Amino acid sequence: MPHVAVVGAGIIGLSTAFALQRRGAEVTVVESGRPGGGQSAGQGRIFRHAHTDARLIEQVVHSRALWRQWEDELGAELVAPDGAVAIGDGVPAKAEALGAFPDAPVELLTPAELHERLPALADYDGPAMLDVRGGAIRTQTAVRALTDRLGAAVVTDHVLAVRRRDDGRVEVRTGTDVRAFDHVVLCAGRGTAGLARALDLDLPVELRAHVRVTFAVADPDPRPAPTFQDGSGVFGETGVYASPYPDPRLYAVGLSGSTPAHADGGVVDPADLAELAERTVAYVRRALPGLRPEPVEHVHCWVTRLPWGEDGVGLWSRDGVTALSGHNLFKQAPVLGEALAQTAVSGQVPEPWHHSARLGRDG
Ligand SMILES: Cc1cc2nc3c(=O)[nH]c(=O)nc-3n(C[C@H](O)[C@H](O)[C@H](O)COP(=O)(O)OP(=O)(O)OC[C@H]3O[C@@H](n4cnc5c(N)ncnc54)[C@H](O)[C@@H]3O)c2cc1C
């Protein structure tokens, strides 16, 4: 079995390392900061099955099954069983697309049922659905459980350069070390494209920044809340997403907007982020009267978007090095970790993850 280096201990690097260890490979994860401190930071992400690309739905269904398996193996709840609610005119098409996947059941909701599920929402009588097996990902629990399981395989260091050597091995130069591996997997989030460029892997990543705002629930309900997506425009915004924290008193809300960033670091116009946060607060005042509209936390993050879609994802692999990029990847972590581990062990990118397949494309 090969010795594989994984650069980055976000959810994807940790999942890849876990999948590699389960295959019997030796693995070293190099993380410059805190595991889960990059794009994977903060509590809660939405696990939803609905995607424009049916191939991605298939992968996400597989991922849901793997999250369950990992819950048993790691002894922790990783995806809350409270469902994912979506509202808006896109609901009938989403429900129809999911109809082809018996493992991703959907229920259409009446206004009364919607209110029952999400009492924090203002009156709404348009299309609504519940993705029954969707729900809030317990992000920090997942990061902690995987980091604990990997133990000493996770080392703190910064990777400056990766290069292929003449003897067929791949050299990783960190702040304090030089080591050679049989394969290197780049899961460095916003750092991946830069490291990959020196290895003739050209990732067309657009770097942007995003903010999500957390609010207190005015009157916490004993029933756990589902995640929420609003594509209706009824409350003045489309592309809204929201996710409960494990603490039922907190609910995080984000608008799908993001702002451009310079490739070498820094947001082009920081005022954009402040405006996005203010729009989020204004949306909450209109749409979610069950939340107190004073922000209690902000989560800022880099968005690494591929040109073919908001949920676009792809793997690049050549001569001992594999790189991954994409956006909205948390829900796919187990299946993506398996795909990256398989690539590292076999040298072949499994279908449909090769970047040329443009997985997660819009339309
Ligand atoms: C507010 C917000 C909401 C989101 N909502 C959802 C959602 O609802 N559903 C969903 O599925 N996804 C969602 N996402 C996206 C999801 O969180 C990310 O796609 C995912 O966390 C990316 O994980 P990653 O491991 O690829 O990257 P990261 O978590 O960024 O991990 C990369 C790691 O590499 C390390 N690193 C970088 N360079 C180096 C180097 N040179 N040497 C050593 N280490 C290095 C970094 O420190 C970092 O820890 C959301 C993201 C945010 C921020």
Residue nearest to atom 5 of ligand 1 (CA): 45
Distances, alpha carbon 64 to alpha carbons 103, 211, 227, in Å: 9, 26, 15
Question: What pTM was estimated for this model as a whole?
Answer: 0.97
Residue ranges in the chain modelled with pLDDT below 70: none
Say how far apart CA 243 and CA 325 lie, in whole Å: 24
Query: Per-residue pLDDT tens for 184-220?
Result: 999 999 999 999 999 999 999 999 999 999 999 999 8
- Cα(125) to centroid of ligand 1, in Å? 36
Do residues 9 and 104 make contact, with C-beta atoms less than 8 angstroms apart? no
- Measured from the Cα of 44, ligand 1's closest atom is 8
Look at residue 221 in the predicted model and tell me its pLDDT.
81
For residue 223, the model assigns a pLDDT of: 84
The confidence score (pLDDT) of residue 216 equals 97
Query: Can you give the pLDDT at residue 265?
Result: 79
Per-residue pLDDT reduced to its tens digit, 224-257:
999 999 999 999 999 999 999 999 999 999 998 8
Structure confidence at residue 177 (pLDDT): 96
Ligand 1, atom 3: closest residue by C-alpha: 45
Residue 98's pLDDT is 98
User: Residue 240's closest CA among 253, 250, 252, 226?
Assistant: 253
pLDDT number for residue 239: 94
Burial profile 274-283: b = 16 or more Cβ within 10 angstroms, e = fewer: eebbebbeeb
The pLDDT of residue 363 is 79
Euclidean distance between CA atoms 337 and 289, whole angstroms: 39
Domains identified in the chain and CATH numbers: 3-40+141-204+308-357 (3.50.50.60), 84-132+206-305 (3.30.9.10)
**Separation of 329 CA from ligand 1 center, angstroms?**
8
